[in-house]
Amino acid sequence: MQVRVDRQSKVPLYRQVADQLRALIVGGVLPGGHRLPSERDLARELGVNRTTVVNAYGSLAADGLVEGRVGVGTVVRGRTEPEPERPAAPMPWSEAIRYR
């Protein structure tokens, strides 16, 4: 895992982890369906408290980038781009004239 924490930084540790994972997901390094390390494993690897990783994964889940799956763990969601906005249905010409 290409994630590092800087204990000298003023940025909270969970935010550092979340931001780096977000960059890996959006950049396509971690594709949809990729299983992230367990909270305990990543915490151990980074030398941080498990709560730090829980908060980082929670932030990514809130942004719609990952989801927790029972029996599987935390997985990168398949679609990492925001849904395009659909244009409004065109108003019938007769109604457009009426509202003028």
DSSP string, the chain: ------TTSSS-HHHHHHHHHHHHHHTTSS-TTPBPPPHHHHHHHHT--HHHHHHHHHHHHHTTSEEEETTTEEEE-S--SPPPPPPPPPPPHHHHHHT-
pTM of the model: 0.76
At 6-56, the pLDDT tens digits run 999 999 999 999 999 999 999 999 999 999 999 999 999 999 999 999 999
pLDDT of residue 92: 74
pLDDT of residue 78: 84
pLDDT of residue 81: 52
Return the closest-CA partner of residue 78 out of 38, 21, 39, 30. Answer: 30
pLDDT of residue 88: 72
Could you tell me the domains of the chain? 1-80 (1.10.10.10)
Backbone φ, ψ for residue 86 (5° rounding): -85, 135
At 54-63, the pLDDT tens digits run 999 999 999 9
